[in-house]
Structure 1
Amino acid sequence: MMKNISKILACLVVLGLVSTSCSDLEQFNENDRNITQEQLEVDFQHVGSKYRPIFESIYQYTPAWSYQLQQNLNADVFSGYQTPPRPFVSGANNTTYNLVSGWNGFIWDVPYSNVMNNVQTISDLTKDDFPTFHGTALILKVAAMHRVTDVFGPIVYTNFGDLSNAGVYDSQQEVYNAFFVDLDTAEANLMANIDSPRFTAFDLSYDGDYAQWVKLANSLRLRLAIRISKVDPAKAKAEGEKALSQSLGVMEANTDSFFVNSALDHPLQTIDNSWGDIRMNASMESILVGYNDPRGNAYFDNSVATGDLKGVRGGLPLLPGYADELAQKADYINYSALNDNIHTSSVQLMTAAEVAFLKAEAALRGWAGAGDAQANYETGIQLSFDQHGVSGAAGYTADNSSTFIDYVDTINPVNNIAALSDVTIAWADAASDEERLEKIITQKWIAMFPEGQEAWSEFRRTGYPKIFPVASNQSGGTVDTDIQIRRIPFVDSELSTNPDGVLGAVSKLGGADNAGTRLWWDTGAPNF
């Protein structure tokens, strides 16, 4: 069960800006006191040992409650993927927009402590003499930190490690521009040394294959280009076409996908199986069951209560008739849990299926090199089916009648809600670009599961898929129930240790420091 709040807050108070879990610091520093620097340098461990905490902290594997706070009780829930069966803090928690600052500090603190610090060390040691190490570190940096800016908006990025400008935030536009520059450097470094074998021992994703790392860099560039396509279309097009035209290309096969292959257990295994703290979201039920989607039972188990896939409505308060949150959990825990295929796999951060859908949207936007929108769309579906070992993609993509279904809560009918969209699966050339984009994003959303951070970002950017609003909005008016939550406010560790930096960040945010303010790329405007 999730650790109590007092223990979590104690971690934050003691560790401040560079907080990580109280029990996990030792593993990131092993060897340093028992092996000499000379011994470390013989097999490059003085650099290579810094990679594991980066890989394992894009979101943190262990302890599982750190991931629970870093992503599961925010992006995984806000995306419409998952929701807890237990109304934590008597229903006044992140899921109902009564944001718990002690929880949300982990979204900021883990990547700064475990990613940015280690990337800085690697870069200092390698950027002049070992360009491939520097290049892979930069790619990991972008993979981790675009998630952070997509939660908060302005972040400390270009000034990190600069003592003269310590704590000075970049605007989100400045951060994105810096991401593209870092990807340029990484790609150039790797292409010039593509056959160097030295990274293999430290690579938790691609076994030291630098061609795969270049494909990842190109795919990340395409993801970020699509993200800014509404707010800076010229820059987006230039960067997207650069990704599509690079000689090694983007991810095309499932073997290209970006997973972190750690020996540690997937944190969802503990959160779902051991604690029973997460279940299927009602929006997932509405879409997967409505589409008769074969991936449904690859993602979730049938409900003990109903015998089929059944989700929990997001943002449940402590409902009338329950003495406490554990009594309410005792009912809703019987709704659909995650299938073992999900929480016993490696951590998924980017898939070839997602990239196919990115190309489909790029084609809609007229970007050179994107190919045909329909072909990319159908390829994305096929890749996702193959990834999860299910058949029937051809029949599924031809279905022009199935659509979302209404949600019915068999425990508490007060949570019932009508389906929000009638979008179908089959491609329609006669449809408008907006209608075809809804198909693309809906299928991308299904395919990216369980990676809730990217799903939440795409929902905010496009409005798709149309996921159910929270059952109870306890934001005090800062978040519109129908528009839904747009960001997380700046965290307590920054407010206490870097107040001037936060003040500057708020000035670059474009609105109040609350959960209802849209990010730079989240324009609220039509997609076309």
Structure 2
Amino acid sequence: MKFHQIGATLALAAVLATASGCKDFYATNVNPLYPTSTTLNNLLPITQVSMASGLGDNVGGLSQYTMGIMQQLYSTRGIGNFLQTGDSFGSPWAEFYNTMLPNNEIIINQGTTEAQWGYVGIAQLQKAYVYSQMVDMWGDIPYSEALQGVANLAPRFDKDSEIYNGTTDGKVKGLFTLIDEGLANIAKAPSSTTLGRADLIYGGSLDKWARFGRTLKLKLYNQIRKTNSPSAVAAQVTPLLAAQLIEEGGDLQLAYKNSLSPDTRNPGAVVDYGPSPENRIGRYFYEDMKAKSDPRMRYYFFNQVPEGVAVTQQDYINENFVTVRPGSTGLYTSSASTANVQTLQGLYPIGGRYDDGKGNPSANSRPQAKYEAPQRLLTYYSRKFTEAELQLMVLNNVPAARAALVAGLNAAFNKVNTIAAADGSPLMTTTQINNYLNRNNTNLNASGPLNRFDRATTNEDRLEVIMYEKYVASFGFGPDVYTDFRRTGHPRIRVSQDIVTASPTRSGLLPDDGTTLSTGMFPNRLYYPTNDLILNPNSPRTQAPQNSRIFWDL
């Protein structure tokens, strides 16, 4: 956080004055510099828009950074070459500590005073979710002493494991305890609440929030499973596997709409379909999907070059797919030289265009899009892939793992079709989906996921199938993909050969064909913003080494 941070009320004023994405999302008649009152129904949407912005697939969100690390995207920002500095992640860090978390804390404190237990429970679950993501990215962070305004301008950085699990002396309340408190407050809230439209995610449905809370708890137990014995993990997750979790259609996500006043468009599409697209598509991510004849490609990637039209003088060309290889320094790497031909993020991740093969009808401007795809955060398909991992690696139940994998795959395809239907784009057919799921090829890599799973001879090989499919389904939300890779070594990704050499203890890294360049090593964690290390005397003062690991990364 910025440690010259002002008190909570003025933090709200700063949000209303400066956070255009939040301000545009809902009309407010409050004077941003001198608010006369603070109401919970004004605060809740601020926290939700800010949460999606800080984590999401946009220029300042963690998703674009982490999708770059995981080779799904590439941009000319340094992290695309595995080069990070103390300025790399200031935007999402500030989004959380200056906007989302302070306003969320007001909801908890004021809601408790007003006995508005629905608001309190939701805010506690949001707090647990955002802090878990921050620990997964940075490790030790301000937590137990944070969000106190002028009462504590220099909060300590709590240990990552203690933020998750808490301490026996009670000085650090762990995330699992916070989730339990949130669920308890939701349970005691009246069935009819005043949440309504203030809740941009679930429309005031406390049942859906409770399902999210239990799913989040399952997710976090799974993420730290290697820190406990299999029997302990089994005892933790077995009751949750039988509980009411996120259902299909009950994803934690923020919806966007194509409106300019107020501006409610998907911010990732606004930039990538603007004059200077920010992101290119990862070459190997595309090639793997193509090798498997994945029918989701037309929803994931929009090729500006029409099918059958030759394109030359670009850094990487694969038929009408055009991108830039990480680290390339040639003539065709700048935004100006690629803007009109490069493949863009498509309909599914950011509300861009469905690829009908006709390309961009206007060669001198960006194609038009609706900008309406939601920012996905925690989904039903992710829940099922998590269940598949737990059944396989903790409960050693291969048939149950396969069944959960099938459910996750079907849910992932349904999610794409749901977004396509809302856009008015063609849907994938049952035949197309089944052909992908069950394809049998002598080349194992070109076979469908169920065939690859059934042909696997070890649980690690089966886990590779689960995690690859989760990786592909999660395109558009990078933090969990990055976390999954570090804690499991799956799915295997191709990176430049010097990255493999510089990261000898990092499993899952495969050398590419030698045509890309990178700097440094694979980062096991993200750098703190330099200003926060300088201004806070209780900070670590120096960056943790890039090869040091988050506590669950064993």
Same fold flag (TM > 0.5): yes
- The 5-angstrom pairing of residues 97-108 of structure 1 reads 97-108=82-93
What's the offset of the Cα at 1:422? Answer: 11
Q: Which moved more, 1:469-478 or 1:150-159?
A: 469-478
CA separation of 1:175 and 1:370: change in aligned 2, threshold 3 A: farther
Q: Deviations over 1:169-215 (max 9, x none)?
A: 22111111211111101111112336232211211111111111111
Code of the residue aligned with 1:33 in structure 2: it is: N
Counterpart residue number, 1:337: 344
Cα offset for 1:316? 1.7
Q: 8 Å contact 2:142–2:158 — kept in the other structure?
A: yes
Residue matched to 1:464: 490
Aligned with 2:493: secondary structure? coil
Q: Tell me, yes or no, if structure 1 residue 257 matches structure 2 residue 251.
A: yes
The 8 Å contact of residues 525 and 550 in structure 2, kept in 1 or not, is answered as yes
Q: 1:39-50 to 2 correspondence within 5 Å?
A: 46-50=39-43
- TM-score of the pair, normalised by structure 1: 0.78
Distance 1:158 1:168 in 2: 8
* SS of residue matched to 1:522: coil
Matched position secondary structure for 1:348: strand
State the distance in 2 between where 1:16 and 1:102 align. 22
1:164 to 1:101, Cα distance in 2 relative to 1, 3 A? closer
- 1:14 and 1:225 map into 2 onto residues whose CA distance is 35
| Corresponding residue number in structure 1 for 2:221 | 225
Structure 1 residue 371: deviation in Å?
8.3
Q: Deviations over 1:200-256 (max 9, x none)?
A: 12111111111111111111111111111112346544442343233xx11231x11
Question: Percent of counterpart pairs with the same letter?
Answer: 18
Q: Structure 1, residues 407-450: CA drift from partner, whole Å, max 9, x if none?
A: xxxxxxxxxxxxxx998754317621111111100111111111
**CA deviations over 1:5-41 (Å, ceiling 9, x no partner):** xxxxxx9899799898994279399544389988x5x
- Measured after TM superposition, the shift of residue 468 of structure 1 is 1.4
Q: Does 1:288 align with 2:281?
A: no
Structure 1 gap segments, 5+ residues each: 1-10, 406-420, 507-511, 524-528
| Count of equivalent residues | 471
What is the CA distance between 1:307 and its match in structure 2? 7.2
Asked if residue 168 in structure 1 is aligned to residue 156 in structure 2, the reply is yes
| Aligned partner of residue 103 in structure 1, secondary structure | coil
Distance across 1 between alignment mates of 2:4 and 2:277: 30
Looking at structure 2, the residues matched to 308 and 143 of structure 1 have their Cα atoms a distance apart, in angstroms, of 41
Aligned to 1:498: 536
Q: Is the alpha carbon distance of 1:332 and 1:437 closer, same or farther for their aligned partners in structure 2, counting shifts above 3 Å?
A: farther
Q: Give the C-alpha shift of residue 317 in structure 1.
A: 3.8
1:68 to 59, 71, 83: 59
Where do residues 265-280 of structure 1 align in structure 2 (5 Å cutoff)?
265-274=265-274, 275-280=276-281
SS of 1:349's partner is strand
Give the direction of change, closer, same or farther, for the CA distance of 1:261–1:331 in structure 2 (3 Å limit).
closer
Q: Alignment RMSD, CA only?
A: 3.8
Name the SS for the 1:259 alignment partner: strand
Residue in structure 1 matched with residue 31 of structure 2 by the alignment: 33
Task: Indicate yes or no: 2:170 matched with 1:182.
Answer: no
TM-score (normalised: structure 2): 0.75
Equivalent position of 1:130 in the other structure:
116
Structure-2 change in CA distance of 1:186 and 1:14 (3 Å): closer
1:114 counterpart letter in structure 2: T
Q: For 1:370 and 1:217, how far apart are their aligned partners in 2?
A: 27
Alpha-carbon separation, structure 1, partners of 2:501 and 2:106: 40
The alpha carbon displacement at 1:520 in A equals 0.9
What's the secondary structure of 1:68's corresponding residue? coil
What residue is the counterpart of 2:405 in the other structure?
377
Task: Give 1:498 shift.
Answer: 0.9
Question: Which residue type is aligned with residue 258 of structure 1?
Answer: L
Matched, 1:195 2:235: no
SS of 2:265 mapped into structure 1: coil
Report the equivalent of 2:240.
243
User: 8 Å contact 2:299–2:348 — kept in the other structure?
Assistant: yes
Asked whether 1:215 is paired with 2:211, we answer: yes
| Aligned match of 1:517 | 548
Secondary structure of 1:60's match? helix
- What is the one-letter code of the residue matched to 1:105? G
| 1:57 corresponding residue in structure 2 | 50
The letter for the 1-side match of 2:287 is S
Report the alpha carbon displacement of residue 303 of structure 1 after superposing the two structures with TM: 5.7
Instruction: Indicate conservation of the 8 Å contact 2:3/2:536, yes or no.
Output: no
Go from structure 1 to structure 2 and tell me whether the alpha carbon gap of 1:136 and 1:310 turns closer, same or farther (over 3 Å shift). Answer: same
Counterpart residue number, 1:83: 74
Q: Distance in 1 between matches of 2:473 and 2:438?
A: 17
1:354 is paired with a residue whose SS is helix
- Residue 366 of structure 1 and its aligned partner are, at CA, apart by 4.1
Tell whether the 8 Å contact from 1:132 to 1:189 is kept in structure 2 after alignment: yes
Question: Residues 34 and 476 (structure 1 numbering): CA distance in 2 closer, same or farther, change over 3 Å?
Answer: closer
1:462 to partner: Cα distance: 1.2
> Per the alignment, do residues 429 and 332 of structure 1 end up closer, same or farther by CA in structure 2, a change over 3 Å counting?
same
Gaps of 5+ in 2: 166-173, 258-263, 306-310, 312-316, 352-372, 418-427, 511-520
Shift of 1:297: 1.0
1:359 to 364, 384, 387: 387
| 1:114 Cα deviation from its structure 2 partner | 1.3
Distance 2:132 2:320 in 1: 33
